């Protein structure tokens, strides 16, 4: 061909080279030639994006795992602890009743070991039937679904059979059987019955303190200052945590004895009416 034709052919080839797609970093490496500066930057950017994707995936999986663990923990606290506490209270109630059946009913004063069940509490309005044990230990008493009697050290209070004093008890409001969850619904005159080996003691709810500090131990005094009681008598005090699902404050319910009935005479009216 002539010189003019050769020039046109050369120009067409250069145009096609300029318009073709740039070689990828991978193809460059495969060809054995070193990466250009632009190709190296692209390869580094691609590597960073891969690390970010992996990190995001790991973080997402961690959040999912954490959520599952929290769900299991909440299920355990709100449901399974109540199931376990129900089993414990049924067992404790059976043991108490079996002991009474073998020992018979008498009026001799008894000393109880911490954690030992010795009575049964009934709150008919709330459909509560729960064993009462000595002491307010969480692992030995409260976390087993029982109500605990303040009977040790400086917090020692009277027993139902005492002729004068304040029979004070504590119970969980949430989880672990939650026997005192709804005591805020009690109203003056509502019965609270305590059954012991020898007698039924019927108290009538007399007042409530919706919230007080945990350090306010005067609420279990023989004559509690905020109860409205003015003179010594035979009282009962129920204490629990408040607000629900916290232990920031304490809720207090007071009652006064209105009837003492030997077990040999059968259940009191509050339990059969």
Residue 26: inside a domain, yes or no? no
* pLDDT of residue 38 exceeding 60: yes
Residue with the larger pLDDT of the pair 97 and 107: 97
Q: What pLDDT is attached to residue 19?
A: 46
Q: What pLDDT is attached to residue 81?
A: 78
How confident is the model over 211-236, as a mean pLDDT? 96
Q: What pLDDT is attached to residue 70?
A: 65
Closest-CA residue to 108 (of 2, 198, 183, 236) = 198
Question: Cα angle at 42 between 38 and 46, to 5 degrees?
Answer: 170
Please identify which of the residues 149, 173, 176, 250 carries the catalytic annotation: 250
Residue 5: inside a domain, yes or no? no
The domain that holds 96 is classified in CATH as 2.40.260.10
* pLDDT of residue 25 exceeding 50: no
| Structure-token pair, residue 176 | 């672990």
Q: Is 93 helix (H, G, I), strand (E, B) or coil?
A: helix
Residue 40: inside a domain, yes or no? no
Please identify which of the residues 149, 172, 176, 234 carries the catalytic annotation: 172
Residue 30: inside a domain, yes or no? no
* pLDDT of residue 209 exceeding 90: yes
Residue 55: inside a domain, yes or no? no
Q: What pLDDT is attached to residue 108?
A: 55
Neighbouring-strand partners of residue 130: 121
Q: What pLDDT is attached to residue 29?
A: 47
Whether 172 is a known active-site residue: answer yes
Q: What pLDDT is attached to residue 4?
A: 59
Please identify which of the residues 149, 173, 234, 241 carries the catalytic annotation: 241
Task: Note the pLDDT tens digit of each residue in 227-265.
Answer: 999 999 999 999 999 999 999 999 999 999 999 999 999
Distance in angstroms (rounded) separating the CA atoms of residues 11 and 100:
114
Residue 104: inside a domain, yes or no? yes
Whether 241 is a known active-site residue: answer yes
Residue with the larger pLDDT of the pair 51 and 182: 182
Residue with the larger pLDDT of the pair 46 and 115: 115
Residue with the larger pLDDT of the pair 49 and 273: 273
Q: What pLDDT is attached to residue 220?
A: 98
pLDDT-based confidence at residue 10 (cuts at 50, 70, 90) = low
Task: Note the pLDDT tens digit of each residue in 98-157.
Answer: 999 987 655 555 557 889 999 999 999 999 999 999 999 999 999 999 999 999 899 999
Q: What pLDDT is attached to residue 112?
A: 76
Number of domains observed in the structure of the chain? 1
**Secondary structure letter of residue 36 according to DSSP:** P
Phi then psi for 210, rounded to 5 degrees?
Answer: -60, -30
Residue 62: inside a domain, yes or no? no
Q: What pLDDT is attached to residue 84?
A: 85
Distance in angstroms (rounded) separating the CA atoms of residues 166 and 257:
10
Q: What pLDDT is attached to residue 15?
A: 46
* pLDDT of residue 94 exceeding 50: yes
pLDDT-based confidence at residue 163 (cuts at 50, 70, 90) = very high
Distance in angstroms (rounded) separating the CA atoms of residues 129 and 117:
13
Range of the domain at 226: 79-272
Closest-CA residue to 237 (of 273, 203, 272, 190) = 203
Residue 259: inside a domain, yes or no? yes
């Amino acid at each position: 061909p002539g010189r003019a034709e050769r020039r046109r052919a050369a120009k067409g080839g250069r145009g096609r080279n300029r318009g073709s797609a740039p070689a990828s970093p991978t193809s460059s490496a495969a060809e054995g030639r070193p990466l250009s500066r632009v190709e190296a930057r692209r390869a580094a950017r691609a590597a960073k994006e891969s690390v970010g994707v992996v990190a995001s995936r790991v973080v997402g999986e961690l959040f999912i795992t954490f959520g599952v663990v929290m769900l299991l923990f909440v299920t355990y606290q709100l449901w399974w602890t109540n199931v376990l506490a129900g089993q414990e209270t049924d067992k404790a109630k059976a043991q108490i009743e079996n002991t009474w059946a073998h020992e018979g009913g008498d009026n001799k004063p008894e000393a109880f070991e911490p954690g030992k069940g010795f009575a049964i509490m009934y709150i008919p309005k709330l459909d509560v039937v729960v064993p009462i044990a000595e002491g307010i230990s969480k692992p030995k008493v409260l976390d087993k679904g029982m109500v605990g009697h303040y009977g040790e050290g400086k917090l020692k209070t009277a027993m139902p059979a005492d002729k004068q004093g304040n029979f004070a008890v504590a119970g969980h409001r949430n989880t672990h059987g939650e026997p005192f969850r709804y005591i805020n619904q009690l109203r003056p005159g509502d019965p609270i019955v305590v059954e012991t080996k020898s007698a039924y003691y019927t108290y009538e709810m007399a007042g409530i303190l919706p919230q007080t500090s945990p350090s306010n131990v005067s609420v279990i005094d023989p004559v509690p200052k905020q109860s409205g009681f003015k003179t010594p008598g035979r009282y009962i005090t129920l204490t629990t945590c408040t607000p629900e699902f916290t232990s920031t404050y304490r809720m207090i319910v007071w009652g006064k004895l209105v009837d003492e009935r030997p077990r040999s005479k059968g259940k009191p009216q509050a339990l059969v009416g």
